[in-house]
């Protein structure tokens, strides 16, 4: 009898703990986030972010209890919720060395080699997977009549920077060495990525420039990418810091894990104290808020940057300033050789201004740029394009822009 009472008491306490944590996350979500009125279905976005926040919170609790890591918990739940629709394409799982990849080929016959798309998913190396982006990749392959190769780069908890981007580079080289084997026209290969995958797409394009053993990349599609980590006081960082799905808190949580940086350096990174004065002077012309169109700077006052230089912070975070993570910092000689680009920004995204800065850099060097800003868009919306419960108009606006551009290649 005492045993049964103890079990009952334990279960009651556990239920109260679970309810308490869930309630705290709900209150925190309501108090700490903002949903602009121009985003349709604001309640759906709040619920979506609540689920997202809840997964990160419970993952962190399980990690502290040494049950499993937060990234592993997040990935397991996300993959369990993923839908894998094949839009009239044949799907093949392969491995390029240690990197899993997934090939999507339209089933319809073609009289000539097809366009090729190299796709790198987002998720900050914490979230995202081949399964989670399966439906999107399948849809893009079918709608653009292209052979699409999705790269399942290694990520957290086992692998931090630079594994993810290096895996994307290596998988791309493997594919480009024999595109005809996959029915791809080597003169029509497009790289495409979203969020961290957009970073990878930019880095892959820059890294493979001028390789005599590979066909040149025809075009790049960068979807709300991370392109620099020096000026984190741009208008979009200040205006959109509390807008889901990528709030400042989530951005730093994922970024610190991916780059293996202690969270105690957050203030130094935010204020630019981790950037040497000569580095700041070198890149200021590319990273200054004056490069952002005026309509995105309304009611914005440039903070005083940088703070006094902190050498210790620099030594711990200097890999953030490498073009391998911040491709916007590449030399002009590299930028000038890049292929034409579709740059997609979300108006209500903390990373919006990275895209605007890169747009200016490309245009200043004579690179053709098609820019599409989704006025009601938020970070991460592309993966929701066919989600019946959490669909948003901005997802389809974004997809249509990508399909239209890609079909013109």
The answer to whether 251 touches 379, Cβ cutoff 8 Å, is no
Task: Give me the phi and psi of 118, to 5 degrees please.
Answer: -100, 120
| Cα distance between residue 105 and residue 147, in whole Å | 5
The answer to whether 306 touches 275, Cβ cutoff 8 Å, is yes
Cα distances from 226 to residues 40, 161, 201, 351, in angstroms, run 25, 14, 10, 7
Of 221, 210, 148, give the one whose Cα is nearest residue 179: 148
Residue 88, CB-side half-sphere exposure with 13 Å CA sphere: 8
**What burial letters (b/e) apply to 101-116, b meaning 16+ CB within 10 Å?**
bbbbbbeeeeeebbbb
Q: Of the residues 135, 195, 236, 395, which is catalytic?
A: 195
Task: Give me the phi and psi of 374, to 5 degrees please.
Answer: -85, 105
* Alpha helices, DSSP H, located in 33-158: 42-64, 70-81, 134-144
Q: Is 129 a catalytic residue?
A: no
Token pair of 267 as six digits = 């203030």
Of 368, 403, 373, give the one whose Cα is nearest residue 385: 403
Q: Is 195 a catalytic residue?
A: yes
Q: Of the residues 69, 135, 167, 349, which is catalytic?
A: 349
Token pair of 204 as six digits = 């892959």
- Distance separating the N- and C-terminal Cα atoms of the chain: 74
| Cα distance between residue 163 and residue 52, in whole Å | 25
The DSSP code for 225 is -
| Cα distance between residue 364 and residue 360, in whole Å | 6
| Cα distance between residue 51 and residue 347, in whole Å | 23
Residue 87's CB is within 10 A of a number of other CB atoms, namely 17
Q: Of the residues 53, 237, 347, 379, which is catalytic?
A: 379
Q: Is 349 a catalytic residue?
A: yes
Our measurement of the distance from residue 358's CA atom to the centroid of its chain's CA atoms, rounded to an integer in Å, reads 16
| Cα distance between residue 216 and residue 189, in whole Å | 8
| Cα distance between residue 52 and residue 69, in whole Å | 16
Residues recognised as catalytic: 195, 349, 379
């Amino acid at each position: 009898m005492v045993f049964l009472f103890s079990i009952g008491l334990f279960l009651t306490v556990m239920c109260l703990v679970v309810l308490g944590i869930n309630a705290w996350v709900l209150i925190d979500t309501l108090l700490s986030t903002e949903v602009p009125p121009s985003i349709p279905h604001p309640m759906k976005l709040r619920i979506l972010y609540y689920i997202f926040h809840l997964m990160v919170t419970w993952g962190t609790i399980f990690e502290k209890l040494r049950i499993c890591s937060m990234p592993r918990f997040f990935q397991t739940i996300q993959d369990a919720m993923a839908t894998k629709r094949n839009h009239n394409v044949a799907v093949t799982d392969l491995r390029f060395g240690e990197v899993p990849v997934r090939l999507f080929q339209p089933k319809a016959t073609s009289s000539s080699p097809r366009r090729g798309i190299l796709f790198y998913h987002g998720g900050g190396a914490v979230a995202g997977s081949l399964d989670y982006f399966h439906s999107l990749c399948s849809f893009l392959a079918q709608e653009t009549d292209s052979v699409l190769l999705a790269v399942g780069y290694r990520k957290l908890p086992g692998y931090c920077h630079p594994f993810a981007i290096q895996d994307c580079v290596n998988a791309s080289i493997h594919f480009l060495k024999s595109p005809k084997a996959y029915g791809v026209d080597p003169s029509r290969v497009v790289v495409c990525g979203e969020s961290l995958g957009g970073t990878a797409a930019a880095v892959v394009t820059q890294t493979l420039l001028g390789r005599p053993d590979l066909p040149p990349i025809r075009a790049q599609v960068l979807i709300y990418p991370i392109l620099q980590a020096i000026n984190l006081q741009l208008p979009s960082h200040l205006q959109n810091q509390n807008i889901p799905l990528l709030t400042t808190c989530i951005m730093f949580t994922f970024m610190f894990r991916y780059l293996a940086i202690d969270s105690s350096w957050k203030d130094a990174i935010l204020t630019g104290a981790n950037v040497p004065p000569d580095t700041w002077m070198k890149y200021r012309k590319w990273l200054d808020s004056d490069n952002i169109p005026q309509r995105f700077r309304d009611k914005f006052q440039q903070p005083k940057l940088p703070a006094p230089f902190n050498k210790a912070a620099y030594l711990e975070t200097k890999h953030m300033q490498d073009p391998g993570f911040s491709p916007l910092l590449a030399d002009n000689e590299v930028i000038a050789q890049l292929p034409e680009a579709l740059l997609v920004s979300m108006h209500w995204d903390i990373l919006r201004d990275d895209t605007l800065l890169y747009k200016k850099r490309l245009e200043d060097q004579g690179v053709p740029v098609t820019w599409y800003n989704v006025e009601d868009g938020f970070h991460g919306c592309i993966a929701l394009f066919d989600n019946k419960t959490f669909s948003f108009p901005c997802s389809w606006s974004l997809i249509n822009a990508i399909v239209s551009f890609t079909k013109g290649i």
